[in-house]
Amino acid sequence: MARSALLNVMVQAAMKAGRSLSRDFGEVQNLQVSMKGPGDYVSQADRKAEEIVFAELSKARPGYAFLMEERGAVEGEDAQHRWIVDPLDGTTNFLHGIPLFSVSIALERQGQIVAGVIYNPAMDELYTAERGGGAFMNDRRLRVAGRSKLIDSVIGCGVPHLGRGQHGNFLIELRNVMAEVSGVRRMGSAALDLAYVAAGRMDGFWETGLSSWDIAAGILLVREAGGYVSDMDGGQGMLDSGEVVAGNELIQRALLKTVKKPLAAR
């Protein structure tokens, strides 16, 4: 596939950060880890990857603003463009030696996500998308799965953990979904969950309590692979609400209806 110069910049930054993460992943037992909150860890590897991405993107496109997990918001001279970056999505997986983690980079232009990259260095899987240009994994074009019924579907989710999320609400959602689908999976990286929906590996995905850097690139991947994404109200405020429901047209609609169903209706 032919990539634009802009997407090449993003790929280069993601892969360089990914190589750094791979080296640290190989010595995961020796990482020094600080606790940012209950069950929410920040490692030296995470900070180093973010520095790499920040340096690469700043050099290639000086003036663009940033929104990053660790660094937060960084104002830029160019008010039309903003990088949204998660240098290590799936930190807990990373620290436990589970090879499901990623670097996620999205570019927002005038409020719209126009390019996205998600890279899992442990599996050397590079997911890319540009608005109107399709979605790809290692240069192979992606399409969402074609299943039309929840009963045939495998659905991904995020699970609230200690100190985060609405546990009671999630248990209602999970009970509703479990009763309707072939299987439920919890991967531990929302960016990869959305990439897997784009690749047809999972038929749908839902999660709440996310940050914009967790999902910005993945939202574009799903859309460019022919899928649909909304928040829990069926709107397009995912980056603000931290809610996401994704799948092909039929599965996304059915999944949204199911997760919003009150338990009493069961």
28-48 pLDDT per residue, tens: 756 656 666 544 556 788 999
Do the annotations mark residue 69 as ligand-binding? yes
Which of helix, strand or coil describes residue 112?
A: strand
Q: List, for residues 41-79, the tens digit of each pLDDT value.
A: 567 889 999 999 999 999 999 999 999 988 899 999 998
Domain count, the chain: 2
Residues 104 and 174 reside in one and the same domain: no
Note whether 251 and 203 are within 8 A (CB).
yes
User: Which among 141, 162, 193 is the end of a domain?
Assistant: 141
With a cut of 80, say whether residue 178 has pLDDT above it: yes
Q: Same structural domain for residues 117 and 232?
A: no
Q: Which helix (H) or strand (E) holds 79?
A: strand 78-89
What's residue 38's pLDDT?
Answer: 45
Which domain-ending residue is among 99, 114, 141? 141
Question: In which region does residue 134 sit, left (phi positive, over 0), alpha (psi from -120 to 50) or beta (all else)?
Answer: left
pTM for the structure as a whole: 0.92
Mean pLDDT on 131-139: 96
Domain with 53 in it: what CATH number?
3.30.540.10
Least confident of 2-16, 22-36, 148-162, 211-225: 22-36
Q: Is there a single domain that holds both residue 135 and residue 184?
A: no
At 86, the pLDDT band (50, 70, 90 cuts) reads very high
Residue 89 labeled ligand binder: yes
Which domain does 54 fall in, by range?
5-141
Better-predicted residue by pLDDT, 164 or 132: 132
- What per-residue confidence (pLDDT) applies to 44? 85
* 78 assigned ligand-binding residue: no
Q: Max alpha carbon distance in the chain (Å)?
A: 55
Phi/psi for 68 (5° steps) reads -130, 150
